[in-house]
Structure 1
């Protein structure tokens, strides 16, 4: 391949030059290592003006990401990184170091991104930790579009994201974060960031479990973003109170062209609040989705009147969706259709034409759903349990475990209890857990057993030897790498356990000693090694003093 250097030089000096870059989207490539990534690396190296890199629809392991990152260090001109749907089939804990590597490559290059798309990667809060350095760096100082749709962020991820974005002033135009279960707390954290930006033109946060408290915080932030043109809060519980808060922000949103509040349980009172706000402030919307909101026929008509009151509405309105609400009889629908013209998308909700027009319709603020909203948390789970008079098989297994020498050791991991297991303690523990644990819980049980033994390794050579043997057994028996990595990260206190009853019964600093002796062994999976090193290095500053002292003496744990 040859390049015309004069043409390249001319193009680089033209601000409106045609965008060029590398696009490997949709190829379903499984890139585990440097060799797998070589075609992408070669393409990057061969591109003299890498303005965009698209890797959507492939799956990257840590080593492959590191190879691509190395190639990126030579391209400061990179503006657009499309990294959506890029980790299918990967362990959740593989993703942060892979993202961190790609970010480090762009940081080393001195790139200045304008667009970053990481949608459809289920990396959760830990993934944001892998992104934090990049988001806080100068690479994102000129970022205009950030797309994080369907990443499983949760409340914690929303807070971490807000913290990363607020580290330095940002001027985003587009923020997309749908299907992330941000809930009220995540929404409030991000609202604080939006308020400081003042530059947003599009906000899309559908399906996030946000109630009126979070919506009110967002509405307050919208006031500081007068250029906002598109707002999508579809399938959140905005409710009447949230609608009132949004209506109150309308005087500052004269550029608003599109709203999507479908499936937001606005009710008639919420619809009326919006209608009044639109009418009072002459907001000239072009696209409106208020479908499936349990809005009564009179309130629907008020919305139509508000949307069509300004002159030129027939030419301006492109789409008005009121489907799934009560629109009344044929005469009502005809009137609405005549006012809305071709933009109207009308169909009734379930039931009669009078549905949603009951006397309680205007008292939605006191509905049970909204009154109980604050009890909803990110990880809330509700179970109904009953106690059977007969002891179940599982309960019998638990009792039997505690009564055995292994069960006693796991409950009270002391040197005396370990000694009772004999010279082949590792094998005894393994056999016991294989016999009394179901397959899905064995990995977790083996990790906890390993830590119980490892915690004694500094006091006993026999314990250290048993711990090493258990590590071999653990890796060999793990059916999937993700549960193993997750269990180890919890046991080493590098991530929080989702189980509130999770108890650490072992000396963590000694566990790190054993890990330092095993992490570079040939049997140790490379992806697991990279994941553990990434989390240890990123958490170094917050590790307990005794643990940090051990880690600092063993650089192989974090470099």
Structure 2
């Protein structure tokens, strides 16, 4: 070893923090190629009796140097925390797995019980995951609480290997009566995509102990997001969810919103740059309305959310006592929308929590077609129904067979047929299923289109509308908001995803809504949602101007608690 290298190492070691059970060689920029280059470091490790934490990040360690360090670690049974990020700069990718196997083997030989392992910023790919596979399965990692693998280039293959290692570690540790309880998982920028994310979701669901999950920038779209959402609901202690810069779209966002309904300890949600869009934002607002009691931060930036949906989100956070930050930057509010949002937050005395809106994308063009964004997976048969983020076929035994008269009416609705149904009109309620909000909105608008001032017809229509809406709006806020969201899309007040098309409105449909909002089942929250979209998209109802004005006036009164 050259004399100037020895001098550099000696100087570096003299500045090394040694104490509290920790040896730190952090960010010393050491180039450790062979056993000779780490002699002083190894000697210091060997002479440190109570080593509990070892920091090697910010250096570059070769295979032979790793073997020498590993030899010193074989006697360190008290070691718990390994901070080994950014440790292989300039090394051949083929070297890294060998170095990791040496270090991992030493930990296993020593009988160490790790609580933290950080290997972030090591571009080791799937082979690198193989290099730590045996360590992760071993008793040395059965006590692991924090695993950080950010920016490691794992890819789909590495994600699958990692998932299987965690599952195997959980199985073995459970057999010994102390199951693996990982609390923090970090794996951003790893190109995990849907397959890798779905594999890891199985491990997450099995452990059920996660408190923080950070998986930004992984190329995950709705299929992988739905799998992760299903796993998240089985981790009741979750505090932080960071899926920034993946692609949720409506289906992924609804699945995540559904999962969040089951979680009470979440403090930070980062769905920024995830394309949650307006329908997804409304679903998340519903969850905010009925849950997430200690939420502190909500990031829905760069999600193609329009002004009205952003205002609904703002209204939903007003009652959160711990709320500190709401980020809606980079959406599609437009200049007036940004000002309206700022004003709304100020009026609720929450102006300080709103993040900058400096990167707003402006109002979307009216002729934008979201349907073009949908993948083939999005365009499944419409008889598929989503429950808790899982698709089931509609032929599962959950719905009673409807009488032929009901089916005939829904196929060709008319006032005459509605009156002929008589008491069977109550059976129409069975045709509305809150888990299929599109179909429910369709049925409601079909019935409402028959409204007339002829007393018998009017009575039959309003009675049926009351029964249907009471069922749809009396459940959870999430289901009610999803239904209202679909209704808004069909009325042309909200731009939706997929194949749902708006209907040609007739005044009777708006008059039925005007009647409904005066009833006890139509809450102020529901009225506020409808009023926000009507006031921001009034042009969509120009063909029914008189009925629209009546509806707007009644909504205004309901929102302000007037009867």
Q: TM-score, normalised by structure 1?
A: 0.60
Q: Aligned pair count?
A: 348
Residue of 292, 299, 309 corresponding to 2:302:
292
CA distance in 1: counterparts of 2:206 and 2:341, whole angstroms = 44
Q: Matches of residues 37-436 of structure 1 in structure 2 within 5 Å? A: 37-169=38-170, 170-310=180-320, 312=321, 316-327=322-333, 328-339=337-348, 340-347=350-357, 349-352=359-362, 355-356=363-364, 358=366, 364=370, 366-371=371-376
Question: The residue matched to 2:162 in structure 1 has which SS?
Answer: helix
CA distance in 2: counterparts of 1:71 and 1:48, whole angstroms = 11
CA distance in 1: counterparts of 2:20 and 2:338, whole angstroms = 54
Checking the alignment, whether the CA contact within 8 Å between 2:149 and 2:187 is kept in structure 1 is yes
Question: The residue matched to 1:168 in structure 2 has which SS?
Answer: helix
Q: Which residue of 1 aligns with 2:480?
A: none
CA distance in 2: counterparts of 1:202 and 1:91, whole angstroms = 32
How far did 1:129 drift?
0.7
How far did 1:252 drift?
1.6
CA distance in 2: counterparts of 1:148 and 1:373, whole angstroms = 31
How far did 1:39 drift?
2.2
Checking the alignment, whether the CA contact within 8 Å between 1:323 and 1:348 is kept in structure 2 is yes
Checking the alignment, whether the CA contact within 8 Å between 1:250 and 1:278 is kept in structure 2 is no
CA distance in 1: counterparts of 2:121 and 2:75, whole angstroms = 28
The 3 A distance-change label for structure 1 pair 160 and 283 is same
Q: Which residue of 2 aligns with 1:557?
A: none
CA distance in 2: counterparts of 1:358 and 1:282, whole angstroms = 34
Checking the alignment, whether the CA contact within 8 Å between 2:260 and 2:292 is kept in structure 1 is no
The 3 A distance-change label for structure 1 pair 91 and 182 is same
Extract unaligned runs of 5+ from structure 2. 1-18, 171-179, 380-563
Checking the alignment, whether the CA contact within 8 Å between 2:76 and 2:110 is kept in structure 1 is yes
How far did 1:238 drift?
1.1
CA distance in 1: counterparts of 2:273 and 2:211, whole angstroms = 23
CA distance in 2: counterparts of 1:96 and 1:142, whole angstroms = 23
CA distance in 2: counterparts of 1:22 and 1:244, whole angstroms = 46
| Superposed structure 1 runs of 4+ greater than 6 Å apart | none
Q: Which residue of 1 aligns with 2:22?
A: 21
How far did 1:330 drift?
2.4
Q: Which residue of 1 aligns with 2:497?
A: none
Deviations for 1:176-219, whole angstroms, at most 9, x for unmatched residues?
00000000000000000000001000000000000011000000
Deviations for 1:465-484, whole angstroms, at most 9, x for unmatched residues?
xxxxxxxxxxxxxxxxxxxx
Question: The residue matched to 1:146 in structure 2 has which SS?
Answer: strand
The 3 A distance-change label for structure 1 pair 337 and 263 is farther
CA distance in 1: counterparts of 2:366 and 2:33, whole angstroms = 60
The 3 A distance-change label for structure 1 pair 329 and 368 is closer
CA distance in 2: counterparts of 1:92 and 1:219, whole angstroms = 33
How far did 1:348 drift?
5.2
Q: TM-score, normalised by structure 2?
A: 0.60
Question: The residue matched to 1:166 in structure 2 has which SS?
Answer: helix
CA distance in 1: counterparts of 2:364 and 2:235, whole angstroms = 34
The 3 A distance-change label for structure 1 pair 280 and 357 is farther
Deviations for 1:26-84, whole angstroms, at most 9, x for unmatched residues?
01111111011112211211211101000000111111000000100111000100000
Aligned alpha-carbon RMSD (Å): 1.9
